[in-house]
Structure 1
Amino acid sequence: MCEATDMIADSAAVSPPLTGIRSSSSLRSLVLSPSKSVSLSQPKVTIDVEFVDGLTNVKAKLHARSYKSVDFARDLLAILVALRVPGWHKTQVTPESLSIRKVSGALTNTIFFVSCPTIALVPTLLLRIYGPSSSSLVSRSHELRMLHILSSRCHFGPRVYGTFTNGRIEEYFESVTLVSSDLRDRKTSQWIASRMAELHSVEISVVEGPLTVSALEGKSWEIGVKKNVKAWMPAARKVLGLHCISEATRQTLNIDRFYELWMRYLRWVSHVEKVEGASRRVFAHNDTQYGNILRLTSPLRQDAPEHHQIVVVDFEYASPNPVAFEIANHFHEWTADYHSSTPHFLDPNRYPTMEERQNFYRAYLAHSRPTATCASSVPTLRSEVEVSQLERQVRIWSPASHGMWTVWGIVQAQDSLERGELEPEFDYLAYATCRMEGFIRELSELGVR
């Protein structure tokens, strides 16, 4: 549920004078003079450049809250030039010519579209500034390696042009971001399912590397949802221990009781999968909410299938997981409206109907090829028995989505709590509460007590 990428009309068009970016030790330094990159009579801007995880990285920070300031534009432009972003580093772009448009609804990170409307052929970019709490949730080095493999070898997701201390610069797709109502469109839902199946056809080892003893879960991969909950629990406990947390909130989000139920649930799942058969483990996106799904507005290649209009972005939570978890997680996102007056609230009445779920399952199964590596799949007919089996497996794994995002929401609340925000832009604790209620409700429905 992490990034919603519908653009709002916040735009910063800035002008000098500006200040530079400074940093300390590095592998090498790059000095940008006004004559080379920023055609203003300002002091030279020095930023340090190194190579990390196969990508150019500059030792500089951007402060998302200051994106309308002149300093922000100057610093951003210096980063783009230092990273040698195609179409940007050899042009006479000036800070005052930048258009910086904030994207609404982004929760883990802050996202901007960056362009230079006054100069032809300068491409629009996506600027991602990491959220303050995201280091507790995401391994950025693993994410960057994964993104490089997915984009270069498997043609999924955006190209990453380079990174800076607290963010990165990505390829921008000419597209529109889906909205909540788009998920209910029959054809769009089929396209999402088809693209999901194609991603699941990527062999886990292609992205994650060879299977090692530390990655094992029985004879398969350790799944991401289990790893995440276990890894995030200490940070969640720390947040709930803050002095500003009320006793009522601690009782509502009883983390020890949650973890007891979580472990009981995992034991139940293990038993059921031994009896009924396990949901196939795949490389999964794990966050297919509508804000992470784009529809391309540029023409497709003539030989491209129509569902390739759909592009899924924001792979920071991607990992091995059961197919059923991925689909269940997507279905829960049907119940959210991150642009409403209560963006933290998930309405169970908006969950897809049986007909809508079956429409999704059939499209998914038609494009599913478990043995593929990075190739797109060819549709095949699947039986109604497989549809029914998938429905059952999604039901089994559905509480896991609620459980994972419960812990995530608690961790994400840390920054706003420590800043003393009484009315944060997104109420993470209220979101965690909503997810906790869903987790407990679905355990009861499955007879897990």
Structure 2
Amino acid sequence: MSPIDENGVIVLTRGGVGGPQGHPAPTQKVGGSNTSTPLASLPPVYANPDVHKLNNNLNQSNFNNQCVNMGSQVHADKVREKAYQLCREYLQGKWKEVVSSQLVIKQISGGLSNLVFYVGLPEHLIDTEAREPTQVLLRLFGDLSSGPVHEFRLVQETLVFTMLAERNLGPRLFGVFPGGRLEEFIQGHPLTSEELRSPVYSDQIAKNTGLIHSLNVPVSKDPNWLGDTMRSLALKLAPLVPDRVPPAEREAVAFLKNANLRQEVDWLLSFLRNVPSPVVFSHNDINCGNILVRDDPESWDPVVLIDFEFAAYNYRGFDLANHFIEWVYDYGTKTFPYFSKNESTYPTRPQMERWVKRYLEVYEEQKSLQDENNLHHKKNQVRNKGIVGKEKMEDILDEIAAYSLASHLLWVVWACKQAQTSAITFSYYCYSYDRLKDYFKEKEQVIELFKNKKGMKRKESES
């Protein structure tokens, strides 16, 4: 569930620097439609990396007055002309017949990195039998002159998006152009906490996770994302001062202040070096807000994982542990601290084993197919095709337990940083406090668990 602020504005979850893990992200007020049609009449919007707020009451004047673009004013007519030119160039059918003034355009997000617009055909030109889409998302990137690092990130993000689209693991890609792209607009809703835990959807998530983990993506294979992200966030934290926060958060800040977070990060990364976990291409943010349920009941794949801005090669244990922890949280609470937690909804052992078996079944099947198509593959190497013995299952569950510490600590430092920079109505300090308590509670259990395990040696790539 996505948090809702005091004005009734839905705060959609997102990943990226502003808000991974499906939690509230820094936002800006955004414009809406350049027609008189209220934004609420649109089909549900999927949560993509830069969706910040969706205001159900925005109108013509809001669009003209509030539309923002990386610090400079964007005029509605210029956006309309840009959308018109791009859709005519990259799309077919009725998009060649429509005139600029007929397009239905609504701004979905506006921030420092992306602007995202809904672009749709007018009702009288919609042909349900046609192959071309009747609605798309227009994503405009920020200023590419910000440097080669930013350019490289955009190239890598588009590459990943393209690969996922081609394999039906994400929204389709309709066009790439200098400064942006045209994407599929998926009608659906973010997964609810209850749906996340249901056997039907859980199996679908396990399947899609296995498909994603099996990909061979042409990006760096070094699993540096986890350590680099935690260290970077910890170093950027300003001093924690209890007296400078609201009374309701002072206990949390005092607890956080007494913890040496940088030291904990260093200890954890050192400990995890001895925990076997294969390196795979990971989503790194599998939570309700980043899982879309299609409205089409006849879809062959009803669940779509979205928001791959944090995707990178990482240790398998993090994706699995992080997802299971999300079972206990609900971010739709309207009262302080604006999230709720129910530890009884953490997956039971049978639920985890079911999920892991489905995941491995899909993962091993995909790797076997890749092996068959690999001319350099040794024919005498046979995969187990997802068969999970008792010992292997125990090892994976131990791996998940260890990487649960990484999930806790990453969002501890992230939430502290958000508390110091975000204007969203959400108690980041309380959330960080909650995750840090769980980290310390589970830390001793995990140390004891691995104390007597022999032959702990990290696998640097999947086997």
**Take 1:127 and 1:62, find their aligned partners in 2: how far apart are those partners?**
12
Deviation at 1:316, TM superposition (A): 0.7
Q: Which residue of 2 aligns with 1:20?
A: none
- Residue deviations 1:207-243, cap 9 Å, x none? 315x5xxxxxxxxx334211211233333x1485999
The corresponding residue for 1:186 is 199
What is the deviation of 1:441? 2.3
Within 2, Cα distance between the matches of 1:95 and 1:429? 47
CA contact (8 A) 1:367 1:378 kept: no
How do residues 251-262 of structure 1 correspond to structure 2 at under 5 angstroms?
A: 251-254=254-257, 257-262=260-265
Work out whether 1:123 is the aligned partner of 2:147.
no
Contact 2:368 2:385 in 1 (8 A): no
| Matched-pair contact (CA < 8 Å) for 1:110–1:129 | yes
The letter for the 1-side match of 2:261 is F
**Equivalent residue of 1:253, what SS?**
helix
Matched residue, 2:225: 224
- Identify the range of structure 1 (386-395 vs 225-234) with the bigger mean alpha-carbon deviation: 225-234
Question: In the alignment, is residue 151 of structure 1 matched against residue 146 of structure 2?
Answer: no
Residues 399 and 380 from structure 1, CA distance in 2 versus in 1: closer, same or farther, beyond 3 angstroms?
closer
Q: Compute the displacement of 1:357 (Å).
A: 1.1
Contact 2:33 2:107 survives alignment (8 Å): no
The Cα shift of 1:164 comes to: 8.7
Match of 1:359 in 2: 354
Number of equivalences: 364
Kindly indicate whether the alpha-carbon contact (under 8 Å) linking 2:331 and 2:338 is maintained by their aligned counterparts in 1: yes
- Residue pair 1:93, 1:116 contacting (<8 A) in 2 also: no
CA contact (8 A) 1:151 1:158 kept: yes
Which residue does the alignment assign to 2:434? 434
How do residues 169-184 of structure 1 correspond to structure 2 at under 5 angstroms?
A: 169-184=182-197
Residue number among 408, 425, 433 corresponding to 2:414 in the alignment: 408
Structure 1 residue 250: Cα displacement: 5.0
Name the structure 1 match of 2:324. Answer: 331
Residue ranges of structure 1 left out of the alignment (5+ in a row): 17-60, 212-220
CA 163–361 in structure 1, closer or farther in 2 if over 3 Å, else same: same
- The whole-number CA distance in structure 1 between the counterparts of 2:405 and 2:426 is 23
Cα distance in 2 for residues equivalent to 1:326 and 1:95: 45
Task: Label 1:257 to 1:183 Cα distance change in 2 as closer, same or farther (>3 A).
Answer: same
Letter in 2 for 1:348: E
CA distance in 2, matches of 1:257, 1:384: 38
Q: Distance in 1 between matches of 2:170 and 2:427?
A: 29
Identify the residue that residue 33 of structure 1 maps to in structure 2.
none
* 1:200, distance to aligned residue in structure 2 (A): 0.9
8 Å contact kept, 2:223–2:315: no
Superposed CA deviations along residues 118-171 of structure 1, whole A, max 9, x for unmatched, are 24156223466899xxx999944432332233324x442224545797x86532
2:310 to 310, 313, 317: 317
Q: Which amino acid aligns with 2:160?
A: M
Deviation at 1:257, TM superposition (A): 0.3
Q: Are the equivalent residues in 1 in contact too, given 2:83–2:119 (CA < 8 A)?
A: no
Question: Which of the residues 277, 280, 283 maps onto 1:279?
Answer: 277
- Whether contact under 8 Å (1:97, 1:116) holds in the other structure is yes
Question: 2:425 and 2:324 mapped to 1: Cα distance?
Answer: 24
SS at match of 2:126: coil
Aligned-pair identity (%)? 23
Distance in 2 between the 1:109 and 1:333 partners?
Answer: 27
| Aligned equivalent of 2:376 | none
Mean CA deviation greater in 321-330 or 141-150: 141-150
Q: Secondary structure at the match of 2:332?
A: coil
Change (3 A) 1:208 1:256: farther
> For the residues of structure 1 that align with 2:354 and 2:102, how far apart are their CA atoms?
49
Aligned equivalents of 2:32, 2:440: Cα separation in 1: 45
Aligned match of 2:14: 2
Match of 2:156 among 130, 139, 142: 142
1:22-62 CA distance string (max 9 Å, x none) = xxxxxxxxxxxxxxxxxxxxxxxxxxxxxxxxxxxxxxx99
- 8 Å Cα contact 1:279-1:323 kept in structure 2: yes
C-alpha distance in structure 2 between counterparts of 1:439 and 1:109, whole Å: 34
1:196 paired residue number: 209
